[in-house]
Amino acid sequence: MFPSSKVVLLSAASVALASAGTAVADTVNNGNPYLAGDMHNHNTCIDGSVAAGYSIDRSVATGVSPTGGKNFNLDWFTLGNHGGSGNRDCRFSDASAGIPGDNVTTYWNDTLGKTIDGITITSLKGTPSGTGSNRQMWHWQHIEEMEYPIIVQRSALYNKVLIEGMEWVVPGHEHTDVAVIAGQNPLGIGGSTGNANNMAEFEFLYDRQDNDQIGPVDGSNNPIWTGKSFNNSGTLGHAKAVAGVQWLQSRYPLTSYVVPTHSERAGAFSPSGNGGYNIEHFRDFNNAGPTIAIGIESPGHMAQGSKSGGSGSYTTNAVGGGTYGLEGVYTAKVGGLWDGLLGEGRNSFVFVSSDWHTRGALAATSPSTNSDFMPGEYSKLYVPNTPGAVGFKAQSIVDGMRSGNSYSVNADMIGPDLVFHAHGSDGVWHGMGETLVVTPGDTVTVEMQLTVPAGNNSPYSFNNPLLAQVGINQPLNKPSLDHVDLITGQITGVIAPGAPGYAVPNFSGVAGAAVVYNSSTVIAQQIQASSMTKVVNADGSTRLSFTTTFVAPSTPMYIRTRGTNIPVATPNVTDTAGNPLIDVNNANVVCSDPACPVHLDTDGSGNKLVTYDVQAWSNTWFYANPIFIRPAGTPQLLVETNAALAKTLAARASRR
């Protein structure tokens, strides 16, 4: 007997399927200049706690879930489960999630041959693995036969852009977000709803957790996907990973992306094991995939920060020894790894997602968590809206990510209408990811406009305990901005593989935070919110803006921005320059309000500490991608030539 929620879901899916044929080209969105999404989240197919459909429902639906808990109304969603295999039927949530009506963990062994939610799994394909309740389904089969059909159902139900992606368990390395949208058409625009077979093939061939030796077979029982290597660790594994990027670049140069995620977590790269990423590995990926390997995703798991650290799921073994302002040190450090890549003029951009798995000790329906936020609850990745005849679609997301015209926000501290652009003497604005060509000595004007929303999804209305230290009373459910940093760095050109500086020594722990990859990077200006032009909107949100100028340089540079609610030199949070300290320090601060929740860690005296979700709601940041600037007459930057390559490939594709 299956939980009663299955009946409800089946009904919803049936309605969705019935309406699929009437889907229109433009999908639901709110007309904002940027649309919010998430590309890294999990369900019970692998190691998440909730059903695949439930995860999508909570992420993109509006209002309140029928089984309890707020929905988060994302504009778009990419399902990003790990490669490998799983033993649970992901039409069902895990019992540990505590969802009414869906609270019995169900295994593939229980459901083979049964039609549930309109989907029938007749057999577990590929190399048999596990017995009884531990019988495994390989993830390529999840992708083709379970997750993609659910994507199709939910796409029609919500008329939003949903993508079947994955979190690649990378040979030799930590994980990487990947999606191949070629072949997917879940809204059925213009005909068939397509399939995710290209995504599945990549997973089978290149994921180090996928040890299936067979894959799908043809009518004669011969494997369809051939050429799989099992060199999955160390230097050989890295070579396989680069081959995987090349495979994607050669087949799907405009319809896929490759973005390493929580890339500090596993420490430095290990030549004989599976470790993290050093800068040379990002460079290798970008060289192999100039239009697809386009940056870094900062860690999710934002509510895991205990009194011994752990936010981002980072232990003290991570490069940097933990997170900094809920970011990895590669992106949080001024002059860090990201700045090293930007210092070459590479098309390397920063993204954020939830890495949603579980609420930890709390139920999935709870507004609190001591583990992960759901997609759309805390972290939002904004990509440009593409209204009009073409409409916003999966290609819009990939194009937006590739362009660099995107930004990443935690805790809704800014909204969907960021303006960050610059112009020279010609007065033509250039935005994030673009290159402004200037005459040295001219005036360059930078303008920034942003909206601080009236509220966020925090369940807590007590005052921010980190800000209380410096005499600021700011409820956790009311976003605030203290200042933004304008960060600049020099671009000195691409370093060739094997040349000095291409590979850089890297270290696990706090020693990794000391590595400087671009020493020219500085916080060039810090603009206090109190000094910005301010307009209070009718909905209670606040529109802030400022303009600043500087002298056009004689050599190439970039300018990027970040903002935070935390003032400079806030004890246990920021240093005297305003840089985030390692987040474990936040737990030195007591959460003393009577409403501070029970799930916070306590000290030896029973005082609650700023940990878990309270830490995340207290210490908030946003990051925007850079604008590149170079003098007229100098060679194009790699970001320009790679953008031109994408444009050429798009033109070629449109002629076919």
Partner 1 sequence: MSRFNCPIVCCAAGLVAGLVVLGASPGRAEPAEAEPTREDCIAAVDKARALAATLPEDDLSRYFAERSLLQADVEAGNGEFDDCIEYAERATVEVKEHRHVLRPGETFERVPMKK
Q: Which of residues 510-539 bind partner 1 (CB under 8 A)?
A: 516-522, 524-525, 527, 531
* Inter-residue contact 439 to 632 (CB < 8 Å): yes
Least Å distance, CB 194 to partner 1, is 27
CA–CA separation, 97 and 269 (whole Å): 34
* Residue from 158, 392, 546, 628 binding partner 1 (CB under 8 A): 546
Q: Does 134 bind partner 1 (CB under 8 A)?
A: yes
Q: Does 483 bind partner 1 (CB under 8 A)?
A: no
* Residue from 274, 291, 311, 408 binding partner 1 (CB under 8 A): 274
Q: Does 97 bind partner 1 (CB under 8 A)?
A: yes
Cα 346 versus chain centre, distance: 19
- What single-letter amino acid sits at 182? A
Least Å distance, CB 21 to partner 1, is 36
Q: Which of 73, 48, 40 is nearest to 59 (CA)?
A: 73
Question: Which region, judged by CB under 8 A, interacts with partner 1, from 68-76, 94-102, 244-252, 254-262?
Answer: 94-102
Nearer to partner 1, 290 or 512 (CB): 512
CA–CA separation, 154 and 167 (whole Å): 20
Binding to partner 1, residues 554-613 (CB under 8 A): 554-555, 557, 598-599, 601-602, 606
Contacts of 32 (CB under 8 A, 6+ apart): 75, 385, 415, 416, 417
Least Å distance, CB 367 to partner 1, is 12
Beta bridge partners of residue 483, listed in sequence order: 528, 564
Query: In angstroms, what CA-CA distances link 573 with 324, 336, 604?
Result: 9, 19, 22
Nearer to partner 1, 287 or 406 (CB): 287
Binding to partner 1, residues 316-335 (CB under 8 A): 335
Q: Does 87 bind partner 1 (CB under 8 A)?
A: yes
Question: Which region, judged by CB under 8 A, interacts with partner 1, from 10-18, 217-225, 409-417, 541-549?
Answer: 541-549
Specify burial of residue 71 (Cβ count, 10 A radius: 0-12, 13-18, 19+): middle
Residues 6-45, one symbol each (x = binds partner 1 by CB under 8 A, - = not), give ----------------------------------------
Q: What are the backbone angles phi and psi of residue 20, rounded to the nearest 5°?
A: -60, -35
Least Å distance, CB 184 to partner 1, is 24
C-beta atoms surrounding 458 within 10 Å:
25
Q: Which of 138, 294, 308 is nearest to 228 (CA)?
A: 138
Q: What are the backbone angles phi and psi of residue 409, rounded to the nearest 5°?
A: -130, 135
Nearer to partner 1, 271 or 540 (CB): 271
Q: Does 261 bind partner 1 (CB under 8 A)?
A: no
Beta bridge partners of residue 168, listed in sequence order: 176
- What single-letter amino acid sits at 330? Y
Nearer to partner 1, 172 or 479 (CB): 172
Least Å distance, CB 337 to partner 1, is 11
Nearer to partner 1, 31 or 633 (CB): 633
Cα 532 versus chain centre, distance: 29
Q: Which residue has the tokens 């949208």?
A: 181
Binding to partner 1, residues 238-257 (CB under 8 A): none
Q: Does 213 bind partner 1 (CB under 8 A)?
A: no
- Altogether, the residues listed in the chain come to a count of 656
Cα 145 versus chain centre, distance: 25
Q: At what angle do helices 148-158 and 5-19 cross, to 10 degrees?
A: 70
Least Å distance, CB 656 to partner 1, is 40
Nearer to partner 1, 48 or 149 (CB): 48
Nearer to partner 1, 247 or 282 (CB): 282
C-beta atoms surrounding 598 within 10 Å:
8
Binding to partner 1, residues 388-407 (CB under 8 A): none
Binding to partner 1, residues 136-155 (CB under 8 A): none
Residues 442-481, one symbol each (x = binds partner 1 by CB under 8 A, - = not), give ----------------------------------------
Q: Does 184 bind partner 1 (CB under 8 A)?
A: no
Nearer to partner 1, 18 or 595 (CB): 595
Binding to partner 1, residues 52-71 (CB under 8 A): none
DSSP states of 200-220: HHHHHHH-TT---SS-SB-TT
Query: Could you tell me whether strands 435-438 and 115-116 are parallel, antiparallel, or unpaired per DSSP bridges?
Result: unpaired
* Residue from 306, 316, 579, 588 binding partner 1 (CB under 8 A): 306
Beta bridge partners of residue 525, listed in sequence order: 486
Q: Does 103 bind partner 1 (CB under 8 A)?
A: yes
Nearer to partner 1, 84 or 563 (CB): 84
Secondary structure class of 115 (helix, strand, coil) = strand
Count of residues touching partner 1 (by CB under 8 A) = 88
Least Å distance, CB 360 to partner 1, is 6
